[in-house]
Amino acid sequence: MAERYSRQILFPGIGKEGQAKIGSKHVLMIGAGALGSGNAEILVRAGIGRLTIIDRDYVEASNLQRQQLYTEEDVSEKLPKAAAAEKRLKAINSDVEIRAIIGDANPEVLEELAKGTDLIIDATDNFETRMAINDVSQKYRIPWIYGACVGSHGMSFTIIPGVTPCLNCLLRTIPLQGLTCDTGGIIAPAVQMAISHQSAEAFKILVEDWDAIRATFVSFDLWRNEYTSMKMSKAKFAGCLSCGEEPTYPYLDKENRTKTTILCGRDTVQIRPSVQGEVSLEQLAGQLDSLGYSVKGNPYLLSVELGVERMVIFKDGRALIHGTKDLTHAKSVYQRIMG
């Protein structure tokens, strides 16, 4: 299959040795939305050895404008993004070992997935998950690449444990939170620009060209023709609880986690059950149907409707309550339907 990667091998920064390294590495992708699907496709086309991709959501029509792996058929079937991504990625490159996980990237899951991982790429949409990624990265000394975009704006930063500041350090100087969730929309070119920054850094890490890694925090606005690159070496904080002299990894602590989450940019609340366990979707569908609910499903999830309310239930017991940002109301809907 040398011909397949010939143009990539011709690039001096990669070459035959670099291509061999890419083919031996394992990348963990957190999220299969806009950034996740784009980064995953680039890595799979480049011949990454293994890709693990985890996502908690399913494909909706509004995703098709910028999430490049998905189709109208995925929307009609309400396929989980991880499952749809796996199907498409295997069709692109059958030589790559791809593992898709439909579920929440909580700290326990992240710590388990971190084993044997060479790089973590952030493609999530919330800071609770990002901070857990950051702590897992520091605890297990795994590089990770932060990325975000909204509107025409995007940003990226590469975090190397023991070398660069971590995300917890950056939060002391850069107001990142305001860019994680927005109702002002997003344009696909901003997504592609953020993906380009992340994937280029990923290649540098995978071929172990550490000197080429960008040491700056990049921020851009394509609509306003703005591009900023900031040196962040002074942001490293000795007292940081994630990467400092005496780390405690606070975002892996159970006390710092929530059971409910408002999904970014949507009138949707995710609820995670306090007791983890697999749900029999077939049995649950029969029970809910007998109670008068309108139930549709596939092997991965159930969509339950009663009047204006809709809830999607996954095998792991997670549920998405659509049409509300009210956590109390969402919990009541969950309890009423699930019992």
| Contact predicate 82/102, CB 8 Å | yes
Alpha-carbon distances of 147 from 67, 158, 216, rounded to whole Å: 15, 9, 13
Q: Where are the alpha helices (DSSP H) in the chain?
A: 6-10, 15-22, 34-46, 72-76, 81-92, 107-113, 127-140, 167-170, 188-206, 281-290, 327-338
| Contact predicate 108/133, CB 8 Å | no
Q: Which amino acid is at 35?
A: L
| Closest by CA position to 129, among listed 319, 239, 43, 258 | 258
Under DSSP, the state recorded for 138 is: H
Place of tokens 């059950």: 273
181 is catalytic: yes
- The DSSP-derived string for 269-334 is EEE--SS-----HHHHHHHHHHTT-EEEE-SSEEEEEETTEEEEEETTS-EEEET---HHHHHHHH
| Closest by CA position to 149, among listed 175, 119, 179 | 179
- The DSSP-derived string for 101-132 is EES---HHHHHHHTTT-SEEEE--S-HHHHHH
Among residues 181, 240, 243, 264, the one annotated as catalytic is 181
Question: Cα 123 to chain center, whole Å?
Answer: 3
Place of tokens 């070459």: 15
Under DSSP, the state recorded for 263 is: P
Question: Where in the sequence numbering do the catalytic residues fall?
Answer: 181
